[in-house]
Amino acid sequence: MTDLLSRDEYHAIADGLSMMTNSYINGKFVSAKSGKTYETTNPATGEVIARITSCGKEDVDYAVQKAKQAFESGHWSRMHPGERKAILIKLVKLMKRHRYELQVLESLDSGKPIREIATIDFPETLECLAWYAEAADKLYDQISPSTDDAVGLIVREPIGVVACVLPWNFPLQMLGWKAGPALAAGNSVIVKPASETSMSALRVAELAGEAGVPPGVFNVITGPGSTVGVALGTHPDIGAISFTGSTEIGRRVLEYSAHSNLKKVTLELGGKNPAVVLEDAEEMDDVAEQVVRAMFWNMGENCSSNSRLIVHTKHKEDLLPRLMDKLRDWKIGDPLDPQNSLGAMISQRHFDDVLHYIEVGKKEGASVVTGGEPLDLGAGLFIPPTIFADVTPEMTIAKDEIFGPVLTIHTVGSDDEAIDLANDTVYGLQATVFCAHGKKALRAARRIKAGTVSVNCYCEGDITTPFGGYKLSGFGGRDNGLHAFEQYTETKTIWLDLGEHEIDARLD
Ligand code: NDP
């Protein structure tokens, strides 16, 4: 699965691709009722690669109607879970067969390096879908403690129509994280991909149809969040919405729910995650490698990127040159060249935002250690890894989620100070602790207010472990693991009276 092709081979695949442009509703590709479309560009070249259907409220209403009909028909929702599993496994096999096409589509749409897509995003997406497929027929319900006179069945049921609103930074993977458990649980799903990165989700929906997912069960609706996202969030027939994106829009999704039908809401939002190097940390070379990956993987366009390096003063002088050394392995450029580990920023707007933060950092007095200026690679949106030293906690770059390749370094005199600074943020998604002393590392992990804390390595956990955030990083539930099923199922109690009252009465 991690078989990389050459740059020329990837470009040849790109040249021969047929682009997915229409929404996929009720098992068919359809255009918007208004006929509207919008351009999607390759951020690495600036070229328009396709015009995507721009749906409106009427298209959302149609998709929800079809998804609801599909749910109520029971063809998927009441199918034996083992059959659902078999169909989802078939989808995984089809995706594997079409891997080069899907990987290149993803790279063209997002500017992500093919190397990372082929070795991380794509295999993890397949693993995720297969894991939830396998889980479908292994989830048992419960029986309450009772006497012989009654039994309480505690059963989980699919909710109905579920909306999944996706971000642009991991389009395929987030599709897997959300649609995987939602479908495995028996729901009908409407996916709204980010406007910049719709095409891989459309192709997966088509493959799902080929695998045997019935029409109306797996829909992908394209168009702007300001219309499609709002229409999904406020729709009275959508029972749950799972959202990944900015905290600002996440708050609105909660409001849509409050003002419509109180649909279940799960939000996976931003982060300003710390990598904390405690006094007892060892093996600075490994630490440097992990810190660089934690920060710059996916160009820092990652909600769990470790954008604040909090380092005990004892290690600072040793660590900094090692960071610079490790950075040399992170080549930036053409995302379809597998030599490159860094690609383009997602959009002109986001590119401008990140550069603005870099300028603010300079103005507020932080010193640029490396980077700090955009790269001139034609019309592509490339920003090199940028590291700031002399950063104080109140600086804008130390507080705001930049969502780009910008690392701030903070030096502290004690482990307590390090933990306090790690927690000095409105977010709480992920943190990394480096410490060779097991007890101290565990104590630090306990004290950090974050949904995931990895120790002596940068990690978000894996498909078996829940992922989500404290504070402004999340709300309402977790992705991944069996915990994700909580998002997509209702709990029902069925109380059976087994007493023999009538029989007793007749015998009297
Ligand atoms: P948004 O929160 O705007 O977008 C995320 C998703 O929500 C997209 O599918 C978007 O659609 C949709 N959306 C947009 N507006 C609405 C709305 N009013 N109602 C419902 N859905 C809506 O993120 P951005 O793409 O603008 O990125 C901005 C910042 O958000 C980033 O810089 C980063 O800080 C953070 N972010 C965090 C992510 C994470 O992994 N937690 C992922 C992406 C961004 P559309 O694309 O059509 O606008």
For ligand 1, is residue 268 a contact (CB within 6 Å)? yes
Give start and end residues of each alpha helix (H) in 328-414: 348-363, 396-399
pLDDT tier at 507, thresholds 50, 70, 90: low
Distance 403 CA to ligand 1 centre (A): 12
The pLDDT value given to residue 505: 57
Which residue out of 116, 268, 289, 486 is catalytically annotated? 268
First to last CA, the chain: 73
Query: Taking the model in full, what pTM does it have?
Result: 0.97
For ligand 1, is residue 271 a contact (CB within 6 Å)? no
- The answer to whether 128 is a known catalytic residue is no
pLDDT tier at 346, thresholds 50, 70, 90: very high
CA dihedral (70, 73, 75, 80) in degrees, to 10, reads 120
- The answer to whether 164 is a known catalytic residue is no
pLDDT tier at 265, thresholds 50, 70, 90: very high
Q: Residue 328 to residues 112, 225, 324, 341, 407: CA-CA distances in angstroms?
A: 19, 38, 7, 11, 16
Pairwise CA distance, residues 355 & 353, whole Å: 5
Instruction: For the chain, give the mean pLDDT.
Output: 97
Helix (H) or strand (E) holding 412, with range, is strand 406-412
Q: What is the mean pLDDT of residues 408-416?
A: 98
Residue 382 forms beta bridges with which residues?
Answer: 375
pLDDT tier at 501, thresholds 50, 70, 90: confident
In this predicted structure, the answer to whether residue 112 has a pLDDT above a threshold of 80 is yes
Distance 138 CA to ligand 1 centre (A): 34
pLDDT tier at 504, thresholds 50, 70, 90: low
In this structure, the residue with its CA closest to atom 48 of ligand 1 is 225
In this structure, the residue with its CA closest to atom 26 of ligand 1 is 246
Strands 474-475 and 264-268: antiparallel
In this predicted structure, the answer to whether residue 506 has a pLDDT above a threshold of 60 is no
Which one of 55, 190, 227, 246 would you pick to mutate in the ligand 1 pocket, going by the greatest count of ligand atoms within 8 A of its CB? 246
**Range scoring the smallest mean pLDDT among 24-33, 69-78, 404-413, 499-508:** 499-508
For ligand 1, is residue 244 a contact (CB within 6 Å)? yes
pLDDT tier at 3, thresholds 50, 70, 90: confident
Q: What is the mean pLDDT of residues 433-449?
A: 98
Q: What is the mean pLDDT of residues 227-238?
A: 98
The pLDDT value given to residue 287: 98
The pLDDT value given to residue 109: 97
The pLDDT value given to residue 314: 98
356-373 pLDDT, tens per residue? 999 999 999 999 999 999
Distance 154 CA to ligand 1 centre (A): 36
Distance 164 CA to ligand 1 centre (A): 12
Pairwise CA distance, residues 245 & 237, whole Å: 23
For ligand 1, is residue 166 a contact (CB within 6 Å)? yes
pLDDT tier at 1, thresholds 50, 70, 90: very low
Residue owning tokens 């599993």: 85
